[in-house]
Structure 1
């Protein structure tokens, strides 16, 4: 149907969102979990991960970050891969889709106007006390979803949450899903053993066994989740228009939470859009996780970074970054609005050559 798009599922969801007015919102959040050495590459160092979400959305709005001197980058063996915010920025500008920010719990607040869903960041999930009052966060997300869906025909929700795949693993495990060795990572080496060790420590300290939270979904988030998960679940469940969840395996945890809140939830108006780097990642399996939850279409966009001249973009091909800031969903929007993936890639290169000169 579209060059550069791979479809996992029926593909029926696309019929309801093609050529429709759209609105993109990015939920930003941080946790103390991201400061665990080796758990994420979403920042030049563990200490800088708390600045990454703010810097990402500042780049999209202001053309440069304001809380950091340079854009966030994932650095592996000396090579730097630029933040996926460059993908999101270019794709949304080409598609002429408006961009909003929601604070779901970021420790560093971005220097942009934003919707305040939750102002308190998440803790270290090893403590078993990760998120304060996740049900309230969810309820505020519901209100945002109801409001925004009155303004558009298609709502696309992205996220920027360092270490979000680890907290996703925590929630999925607490809800009883088989997600071990299936969540993605922002680095070529996926630290599955470390993630599992961190999650199991949190579950133990919370007095939770795998699957204990099937009927107490907010307890799962409270113990081993992050504040983005209930915020985005609320936005999605509050919406009256189709919602594309723009992200990787973190969004399967959002879907799992929604299913636990409402076992009859119908995913026909909900889909996940990601990048080909997540969908074809040999160290994870987004489709296997989603299949356990429900009939969820997954769309993966390939920006063809192999044809890019910018060396940093080649790091995506080596397993760095993969997804974030709704990059896959933003590229899907570009395709839905008639923008070819080649144009998206070329503009991304131009932007990288400008801001990384």
Structure 2
């Protein structure tokens, strides 16, 4: 029920190493005002709904179905929240869950570890987060990575997230790291809104002073009819070649979100003594790339904190709906980053009796709240197949209706 798409040898070795071991789940909650831009995300039917998506998902992840949740799951235009997948696995195997508030407008209604972060400004400002706060969040991620690795023991740590608008901040960070990511990212929409994302990223990088043109014709992603044959996005020429930010933390401060730096620090620290499954698609590929950049000798992070970064211990795990999304290029993005094993659950909900679950097979929602990583864990830990997992998810949906 698991397919490895890139770095096959490394990915299968990781799966063999952790087969039969229970994971620990860390879910990092964050917020960016980017998520309030009309049409930027389908993780909430309206911008007002999206203000509460992360805290509602967190409450459901921990409590499951309750008669009167403080923050009910927000309505989606189509489909159901991916937290139904995550919660089904957490509930079935009694997985330990650690929630982290990396920067939310209001705290969740369930216990969460407060990292003293702040919500991010819209990335288009080029001034998303205070640099000092990014540095503090990195240190928190490193500290908790060490702690959770001890909890995981011989097992592995799943690092998930909930940040509405996070695929757009991911595009910004990947681009700022010098990668040709435009046209390759995913979204919760049926068809990825590449043009809208790209214009926002261009604005943010220009205002931050981190974007340059070098005259090449660039690369072309898939899935957006507004990209013409010579590499233009709407009215903007896409060169795909940018001046790198010399400091990855300055990049996050300019155009990132608070989850990214925490997750990267957590992955770096935990990888020294346990396996790490970055649970997500575009957003976790950006976290992996950020961790790579932080681990470079030029950043001085490994030396300063005496870290033992082991990238072979870290994989990215998502859903088939993300990995095979025809309106993005997740595999191409992973190959652009290089050296990262990308894998996905082959969970199929085409036969579900619930239309909101069948919607995943049409291309809606796709991923979130560590759904893909939890589905992978169900297969790794107890050998669950797609039919068994779908039964557990449907049982949860039935109780919620």
Please confirm whether the aligned pair reaches a TM-score higher than 0.5, indicating the same fold.
yes
Secondary structure of the equivalent of 2:369? Answer: coil
Q: What does 1:142-153 correspond to in 2, within 5 Å?
A: 142-152=142-152, 153=155
| C-alpha distance in structure 1 between counterparts of 2:45 and 2:69, whole Å | 16
| Alignment match, 1:38 | 39
1:51-91 Cα offsets, whole Å, 9 max, x none, are 001100101222247343x323421xxxx311000000001
| Alignment match, 1:260 | 293
Matching residue within 234, 256, 278 for 1:245? 278
Quick check: 2:160–2:369 contact (8 Å CA) kept in 1?
Answer: yes
Secondary structure of the equivalent of 1:56? Answer: helix
| Alignment match, 1:7 | 4
Quick check: 2:159–2:370 contact (8 Å CA) kept in 1?
Answer: yes
Deviates more, 1:95-104 or 1:30-39: 95-104
| Alignment match, 1:66 | 69
| Alignment match, 2:196 | 194
Displacement after TM superposition at 1:263 (Å): 3.0
Matched, 1:180 2:213: no
With normalisation by structure 2, the TM-score equals 0.84
| Alignment match, 2:238 | none
Displacement after TM superposition at 1:127 (Å): 0.7
Matching residue within 327, 336, 345 for 1:283? 327
Displacement after TM superposition at 1:283 (Å): 1.1
Q: What does 1:91-170 correspond to in 2, within 5 Å?
A: 91-132=89-130, 133-152=133-152, 153-170=155-172
Gaps of 5+ in 2: 213-241, 298-308
| Alignment match, 1:340 | 385
| C-alpha distance in structure 2 between counterparts of 1:214 and 1:225, whole Å | 13
Gaps of 5+ in 1: none
| C-alpha distance in structure 2 between counterparts of 1:66 and 1:279, whole Å | 33
Secondary structure of the equivalent of 1:74? Answer: coil
Deviates more, 1:253-262 or 1:92-101: 92-101
Quick check: 1:51–1:67 contact (8 Å CA) kept in 2?
Answer: no
Quick check: 2:124–2:200 contact (8 Å CA) kept in 1?
Answer: yes
Deviates more, 1:278-287 or 1:160-169: 278-287
Quick check: 2:117–2:258 contact (8 Å CA) kept in 1?
Answer: no
| Alignment match, 2:262 | 231
Displacement after TM superposition at 1:266 (Å): 4.1
Displacement after TM superposition at 1:214 (Å): 4.4
Structure number, greater radius of gyration: 2
Quick check: 1:54–1:67 contact (8 Å CA) kept in 2?
Answer: no
| Alignment match, 1:352 | 397
Deviates more, 1:154-163 or 1:91-100: 91-100
| Alignment match, 1:53 | 54
Displacement after TM superposition at 1:212 (Å): 3.1
| Alignment match, 2:349 | 305
Quick check: 2:27–2:98 contact (8 Å CA) kept in 1?
Answer: yes
Quick check: 2:134–2:253 contact (8 Å CA) kept in 1?
Answer: yes
